[in-house]
Amino acid sequence: MLSYVFMKILEARPASYDRRIDRVDGGRSRAARQAVQARVADGSRVLEIGCGPGTLARSLAQRGCTVDAFDANRAMIEEARSQAGDLAGDLADHLHFRFMGVDGMDRYQAGAYDAVVSTLVLSELSDDERHYALGHVARVLRRGGLLLLAVEVPPTGTGARALHALARAPAVATTWLITGSSTRPVQHLRDDLAGAGLVLDDWSQNAGSALAVVVAHRPEEA
């Protein structure tokens, strides 16, 4: 459950990011990514927040989706573009990667997307950035469109939370010394979603786990 802290270190090597984080967390983030992917309908128009090396975006493109994706890590975007170039046929034409942070989300058209997806990104954002991003998610989704998140949150249960906080501290310190940054479990995601005008549909989180798969949608009527 501490592996998501270490992803800040793994981000330094985009080409091997997926393989390494798989090894560190025993495949849990891959499973979460697949769970997110499974909820996206074939042929959808998708926006991905924090796409990393573009693994999820490529999978979605192979299912006929058109994906706009961005990441604040330039090396990740370069890796994503490079790997997209290796795709067969015209699949790369369905992928649009952009180097930017969430502050650039105002460039995307209102109501243009069937789904917005994001895996292990919200815990890297400040509170202001998260609120801003979710506000724009609600704006760019079409009515009824889905927000699909894999997100680091505090485990359920007081004991598990305390244990998690205690065990997390050395990992945070190590990551912080190496990268000068760290992640923070998202504390009030349900409130944040409601504040952005999104309706929570599903929250999947195993007991003791700090990883949740969250589904929300933009209501039909504002």
Positions that interact with other proteins (CB under 8 A):
101-103, 106, 126-129, 131-133, 176-177, 180-182
3-state secondary structure of 2: coil
What is the spatial distance between Cα 38 and Cα 219, in angstroms, rounded to a whole number? 21
Q: Looking at beta carbons only, is 40 or 72 nearer to other proteins?
A: 72
Nearest 5°: the CA angle 117, 137, 220 is 105
Pairing of strands 211-217, 141-152: antiparallel
Distances (CA, A) of 100 to 97, 104, 135, 178: 9, 6, 17, 23
Instruction: List CB contacts of 73: < 8 A, sequence separation 6 or more.
Output: 11, 14, 52, 99
Shortest distance, CB of residue 38 to other proteins, whole angstroms?
Answer: 31
Distance CA 163, CA 174 (A): 18
Question: Alpha-carbon distance 95 to 30, whole Å?
Answer: 20
Which CB atom, from 38 or from 177, has the smaller least distance to other proteins? 177
Q: Measured between alpha carbons, how far is 116 from 184 in angstroms, rounded to an integer? A: 21
CB of 28 to other proteins, least distance (A): 26
Cβ-based nearer residue to other proteins, 102 or 189: 102
Q: How far apart are CA 66 and CA 58, in angstroms?
A: 10
Residues 197/218, Cβ–Cβ less than 8 Å:
yes
Nearer to other proteins, 60 or 153 (CB): 153
Shortest spacing between CB 165 and other proteins, in angstroms? 11
Cβ 53 to other proteins, closest distance in Å?
21
Q: Least distance to other proteins from the beta carbon of 132, Å?
A: 4
Smallest gap from residue 203 Cβ to other proteins (A): 25
Which lies closer to other proteins via its Cβ, residue 101 or residue 208?
Answer: 101
Q: Which is nearer to other proteins, 71 or 114 (CB)?
A: 71
